[in-house]
Structure 1
Amino acid sequence: MTESNGSAAPERNKQMPDKEIADWEKRFRAPRVSLPDWAEDTPDRSLFVSNATGTYELYAWDRSTGEQRQVTNRPNGTTDGVLSPDGAWIWWFDDKDGDEFGVWRRQPFTGGGDELAVPGLDASYPAGLALGRDGRTAVVGRSTDDEGTTIHLARLGESGADTVEIYRHRESAGVGDLSHDGSLIAVEHTEHGDAMHSALRVLRPDGTAVAELDDTKDGTEELGLEILGFAPVDGDSRLLIGHQRRGRWEPLVWDVVTREETDLALELPGDVSAEWYPDGSGLLIVHSHEARSEMFRYDLATRALEEIATPAGSVSGATARPDGSVEYLWSSAAEPSAVRSTTGRVVLDPPGMKSPGSVPVEDVWVEGPGGRIHALVQKPAGASGPLPTVFDIHGGPTWHDSDAFAAGPAAWVDHGYAVIRVNYRGSTGYGRAWTDALKHRVGLIELEDIAAVREWAVGSGLADPDRLILTGGSWGGYLTLLGLGTQPDAWTLGIAAVPVADYVTAYHDEMEALKAMDRTLLGGTPEEVPERYEASSPLTYVDQVKAPVYISAGVNDPRCPIRQIDNYVKRLEARGAVHEVYRYDAGHGSLVVDERIKQVRLELDFAERNLPR
């Protein structure tokens, strides 16, 4: 057994010439940017995230002058930031070393010192933020173990903040949006106890209710709602929301004053999200189906749906600009991400090293115990099987892998491995029934689908059955440890990053919002349904693990806390099982490029030393 602790200290000289850096490492080091957010009333002012310094931080961008300025500079990075509608302030969330527990601070867009954004509010986990166009109103959501979720309306002034609590409940909730004129506040909540399916409430600034919408009361099915945003027009009480009434996510427009609902009834087979065009006349539609996406403009007056041309691949974010153009973040498995515009130009092209591409992804459909399973396959160009194969399992679980650029899988391909990513039951993008299927037999259902794809991979001649790696991060790390114990003869080795390892201890130590999710998934607390937690916990099966195990974990992680990982490792140690553990000073993953490269290098090395030749 090997155990080490790590920091984010650079492993190599950043001035090293590009030609001396391997392609897999260049993909992590190459500067990249997020889709820029822009100020509603000052659209030349934008905010984006970049890793240009080697750590992901917030950057201000004045489009009128071209000037870009780094806003935050913290050892473990910063990605949670919001630009005020007037463009005057940048709000950013300040936690401690990635533990996600902290306070909002703000800084002038033009630069200057940071200040506590809402004096008087104690540190908490964030539960949404909405800023008013008047420059002094903020709706702040907070989550703590003691109070549950609280939402506060703050009026900011030169002498401090006048803050009033307008919402409180033990179950999870969050701020959705603040109307254009500041008179309405939309909240998503799970007061009914189902953390996977939210209901909606619209409040006045004094906390009194204006309207309620709750599809969970259907009586026959569990349906969820989500807030997509108020119409960007003064006095307009239309709220754009997402619903699941036809078995998938679709948008509708709800007038929260008249209660009128305008169902768009889009004939698109996958999940559909939307946001307003700046004048409120139409909607920007992003349609995700079978691991790829496309965009449309929907005219609310004519109900016409017009496609916006994009290359084949995935749109991971899009926004309509005041001039009618659309900016979007696009990539494919073969081509790195770029912020593009329907004007035909690249919006942001960071200077410096360019990321190498990778190989395209191939689609595979496999019949499984719960229906057809979609898997995405990459393999070295020109290679034929059987190959050492990595099953790279996504987190969430309510997420999905797509035809999008990912440096991690590309690194495995560079080293001669085939990579298979499985959109198991629980994944999004394949309908509500597929996403909701994993309840109560948590982990075990997902592993049935992974096993079906494994059987296909070996039977087709792609995968070498003696060189199979099960790996993933977060929920994927959890499934890795659970799979090594429940399918001990199926896997040659396992690599788990920030995993759930001991479900009971994880429940008691994790942040409150995740406790609510676990109660939904498993039907109660560990005390109420102990048999379900036992059946779904990797710790239950640790003595059956045969494969070498590598585990990495952030010591400040509030989602998959370190104590429950330590419990699992102690059991491996007691058995003398082959395993290695790497702990690092961050939370649920790292925002530091050198640290991430170090982790990938350790994983590749572990596989090289423990996989049969």
Structure 2
Amino acid sequence: MSNIKEQWEQRFYDYTILWMNPAFNAPHRAILVSNLSGKFQLHSYDFITKFSRQLTKKSQGTLFGSISSNGEYVFYLNDIAGGEHGHFMRIPFAGGHAIDITPSLPQYYSYEVSVNNTGNLLCFSASIEDKNKIYLVSFDSKGSPLTPYLLYESAKSIQGSIMSPDGKFTCISLSSNGTKTISEILIFDNVTGNIIYKSNIKGSYTPHTFSKKSSELEILGLSNTSGSYRPILLYPKKKTIREIKDSSFKGDIFVMGWIEDEQKLLLCDVYQAKQKLLLYDLKNKTIKKIGPTSGTFDLFFNSIAILPDKSILIRWHSFETPPQILKLHYPLYKKITNVYLPVSTAKTNSKFESVYFHSLDGKKVQMWIAKPKNNKRSGSFVIDIHGGPHGVVGDEFSPKAQAWLDKGFGYCAVNYRGSIGFGKKFAEDIYGNPGKWEVEDIVAARNWLVRKELADSKKIILSGWSWGGYVVLLALGKYPNLWAGGIAGTPIADCIFQYEDEPAFFQALDRKRFGGTPTEVPDIYKSSSPITYAKKFQAPILILYGENDVRCPPRQIAYFEKILKKEGKKITVKKFSSGHAGEFANTKIRVSNIKAALDFAMNIIGKAPLKE
């Protein structure tokens, strides 16, 4: 086999930073997730001293980690073969061995911890069997972990668990099971284990962090109680809530960082799949636009670093530009320099265009389209369906999109019902009847492409991963005559089997989306399941799944394959040796899956497969 990589393949191997997470009280120290070793692993990096080292060497890569507030330690889930069940490990930032901080617990699903200022106490949520649990772990004077203390447990979904800087309190948010979201905010006394504050808030609520400056309890979080996501400041002792509002806000407002010394929030306004960086002054209630005017930022909290000179580091990329680390210079933040500028493989000359169409019910839906420079496969289009479902495709760099364009396919990414940045109703339209409006939006996108003579009606391929893979299968079953083929990565094929096998964390989410359990609302689970439409499938199907996937477990895939083969349908199933997220962490697996997808699509439209 030749070691020479094609251009599309090389883009996946180009050195990049997937995200960064700085220490809250020592933001010059950060975790960087990069593929320098060939797989995405955690790396420590000090922006002042330039010290760096690779922290993890897991066989399937590592995508998630937490850093202590003081920057001394990094925590990651040590799972087996990408299975996302394991124990948290603690490893020193500057060097040393990793230790298991919960050796007495069974394996659990989790992905982050919250640590107090001194590093001797932390909290985390964990899914174990049919419950979501909150644990406290303290450390003795020698730094050894003591037996975990169970603070709380519930069958409900736990949206965030954070610890106060002094370690006295833990705050969590519980989400209701019904399709109408109500969040219950709980604050615990970590010494007694008692609940000292309890309140309900309409909509979703995720606590981000306690204030490290305020003499009274003050918690920064995110909620969509007013219809769109907005920052929320909670004052438990006063029993008051302050929603951050401004007339210039257009879409969902996400908090990227809290610069407490300056009394400012770094925000990102996500509106109609486009992003805008904002600096909000909490004292004066003023706002200013900063940073690049296009492209995509990291939307999760604490995704920025504040340097000693008060300049801001952010990660940014666009359809035409691979990820970069940009420095926004204090005090005006108008001067922008590149701290990290990758040398990347040549990209396609195609342009990413935002367009709108109307779905079956008249709802306005946004999508991105790009036409290939190479027109040899005239009229061939792939409709790429994002996961989530509460994600969004923006003006972002995607080696996958570039690969499809390199091979002569038009590329389309639809922000279907369920996507963020289009309002609360748009995001929650899918509740109570999952799959219905996602599929209708994809069908309407397909019809728009055909009507505009961009796509040949007989050459349209569906592709998606996770929830996107689920929508692919459901669309193939409900509208069998519209597609040339479908590629479903780590999909949901049987919603009932899915619920039975998934962790408690995802069961709670499904009860919310479906309106109950399979026993309580069996008709909804049945009508939303791709397997229900087994007899109707006509187009060839390629399913790619991880043998250790706990989010979309293998049993339902195997059963779906069995039923469709019994019906004489054209289905190919390939498994890879990792879990749900491993397809993204392990570059070799990712490239293999993309190649399988490209081969599959090109064979359908009469072209030879890619050469090995």
TM-score with structure 1 length normalisation?
A: 0.92
2:275 maps to a residue whose letter is: S
State the partner residue of 1:356.
Answer: 347
What is the alpha-carbon distance in structure 2 between the residues aligned to residue 555 and residue 561 of structure 1? Answer: 8
State the partner residue of 2:134.
Answer: 151
State the partner residue of 2:254.
Answer: 273
1:534-553 deviation line (CA, Å, top 9, x unaligned): 11111111111111111111
Offset, 1:209: 2.1
What is the alpha-carbon distance in structure 1 between the residues aligned to residue 480 and residue 17 of structure 2? Answer: 41
- 1:246-265 superposed matches below 5 A: 246-265=226-245
State the partner residue of 1:558.
Answer: 550
1:258 maps to a residue whose letter is: K
Residue pair 2:179, 2:515 contacting (<8 A) in 1 also: no
Residue pair 1:47, 1:83 contacting (<8 A) in 2 also: yes
* 2:86 pairs with 1:84: no
Q: How many residues align?
A: 589
State the partner residue of 1:373.
Answer: 365
Equivalent position SS for 1:533 = helix
Offset, 1:301: 1.2
State the partner residue of 1:6.
Answer: none
Q: Select which of 411, 426, 430 maps to 1:434.
A: 426
Q: Select which of 23, 29, 34 maps to 2:18.
A: 34
More divergent stretch after superposition (24-33 vs 161-170): 161-170
Residue pair 1:92, 1:105 contacting (<8 A) in 2 also: yes
- 1:52-67 superposed matches below 5 A: 52-67=36-51
State the partner residue of 1:199.
Answer: 184
Q: 1:354/1:490 Cα in 2 relative to 1: closer, same or farther (>3 Å)? A: closer
What is the alpha-carbon distance in structure 2 between the residues aligned to residue 434 and residue 248 of structure 1? Answer: 10
More divergent stretch after superposition (150-159 vs 466-475): 150-159
What is the alpha-carbon distance in structure 2 between the residues aligned to residue 518 and residue 184 of structure 1? Answer: 30
- 1:355-504 superposed matches below 5 A: 356=347, 359-368=350-359, 369-381=361-373, 387-504=379-496
Q: Select which of 97, 102, 105 maps to 1:113.
A: 97
Q: 1:66/1:248 Cα in 2 relative to 1: closer, same or farther (>3 Å)? A: same
More divergent stretch after superposition (316-325 vs 367-376): 316-325
Q: Select which of 583, 606, 610 maps to 2:604.
A: 610
More divergent stretch after superposition (337-346 vs 469-478): 337-346
1:156 maps to a residue whose letter is: F
1:62-111 deviation line (CA, Å, top 9, x unaligned): 33332221111011011221111222211111111111111101111121
State the partner residue of 1:5.
Answer: none
Unaligned ranges ≥5, structure 1: 1-10, 217-222
More divergent stretch after superposition (548-557 vs 117-126): 117-126
* 2:315 pairs with 1:332: no
Offset, 1:386: 5.6
Residue pair 2:28, 2:305 contacting (<8 A) in 1 also: no
State the partner residue of 2:333.
Answer: none
What is the alpha-carbon distance in structure 2 between the residues aligned to residue 144 and residue 127 of structure 1? Answer: 13
Residue pair 1:171, 1:516 contacting (<8 A) in 2 also: yes
State the partner residue of 2:171.
Answer: 186
Residue pair 1:127, 1:143 contacting (<8 A) in 2 also: no
Q: 1:110/1:128 Cα in 2 relative to 1: closer, same or farther (>3 Å)? A: closer
Offset, 1:120: 2.9
- 1:7-26 superposed matches below 5 A: 13=3, 16=4, 21-26=5-10
State the partner residue of 2:110.
Answer: 126
TM-score with structure 2 length normalisation?
A: 0.92
Q: 1:111/1:546 Cα in 2 relative to 1: closer, same or farther (>3 Å)? A: same
Offset, 1:55: 0.7
Residue pair 2:177, 2:508 contacting (<8 A) in 1 also: no
Offset, 1:421: 1.2
Residue pair 1:478, 1:538 contacting (<8 A) in 2 also: yes
Residue pair 1:35, 1:339 contacting (<8 A) in 2 also: no
1:187-224 deviation line (CA, Å, top 9, x unaligned): 011256569653322222132223233223xxxxxx22
Residue pair 1:249, 1:271 contacting (<8 A) in 2 also: yes
More divergent stretch after superposition (536-545 vs 274-283): 274-283
Q: Select which of 262, 265, 274 maps to 1:283.
A: 265
2:487 maps to a residue whose letter is: I
1:510-530 deviation line (CA, Å, top 9, x unaligned): 111211122221122222222
What is the alpha-carbon distance in structure 2 between the residues aligned to residue 348 and residue 207 of structure 1? Answer: 45
Residue pair 2:91, 2:98 contacting (<8 A) in 1 also: yes
Q: 1:358/1:504 Cα in 2 relative to 1: closer, same or farther (>3 Å)? A: farther
The percent identity for this pair of structures is 29
* Runs of 4+ residues over 4 Å off in structure 1: 191-197, 352-355, 382-386
1:247-272 deviation line (CA, Å, top 9, x unaligned): 11011222122123223222211000
Q: 1:504/1:358 Cα in 2 relative to 1: closer, same or farther (>3 Å)? A: farther
Equivalent position SS for 1:69 = strand
- 1:555-594 superposed matches below 5 A: 555-589=547-581, 590=583, 591-594=585-588
State the partner residue of 2:146.
Answer: 161
Offset, 1:383: 5.2
Q: Select which of 88, 113, 138 maps to 1:104.
A: 88
Equivalent position SS for 2:482 = coil
Q: 1:37/1:22 Cα in 2 relative to 1: closer, same or farther (>3 Å)? A: same
What is the alpha-carbon distance in structure 2 between the residues aligned to residue 110 and residue 195 of structure 1? Answer: 46
Offset, 1:116: 0.9
Q: 1:534/1:330 Cα in 2 relative to 1: closer, same or farther (>3 Å)? A: same
What is the alpha-carbon distance in structure 2 between the residues aligned to residue 384 and residue 105 of structure 1? Answer: 51
* 2:313 pairs with 1:321: no
State the partner residue of 1:3.
Answer: none
More divergent stretch after superposition (378-387 vs 509-518): 378-387
Q: 1:358/1:86 Cα in 2 relative to 1: closer, same or farther (>3 Å)? A: farther
Equivalent position SS for 2:81 = coil
What is the alpha-carbon distance in structure 2 between the residues aligned to residue 438 and residue 192 of structure 1? Answer: 15
Q: Select which of 590, 597, 613 maps to 2:591.
A: 597
Residue pair 2:125, 2:161 contacting (<8 A) in 1 also: no
Q: 1:64/1:604 Cα in 2 relative to 1: closer, same or farther (>3 Å)? A: same
C-alpha root-mean-square deviation of aligned residues, in Å? 2.1
Unaligned ranges ≥5, structure 2: 330-335, 608-612
* 2:214 pairs with 1:245: no
Equivalent position SS for 1:479 = helix
1:450-469 deviation line (CA, Å, top 9, x unaligned): 11111111011001001010
1:304-353 deviation line (CA, Å, top 9, x unaligned): 11111313111124425153322211111121111211132223346x75
Residue pair 1:128, 1:176 contacting (<8 A) in 2 also: no
1:271 maps to a residue whose letter is: D
Residue pair 1:29, 1:353 contacting (<8 A) in 2 also: no
1:353-389 deviation line (CA, Å, top 9, x unaligned): 5563663311111112151011110111385996101
Q: Select which of 173, 176, 186 maps to 2:158.
A: 173
What is the alpha-carbon distance in structure 1 between the residues aligned to residue 214 and residue 90 of structure 2? Answer: 26
1:253 maps to a residue whose letter is: L
Residue pair 2:177, 2:511 contacting (<8 A) in 1 also: no
* 2:519 pairs with 1:527: yes
* 2:32 pairs with 1:48: yes
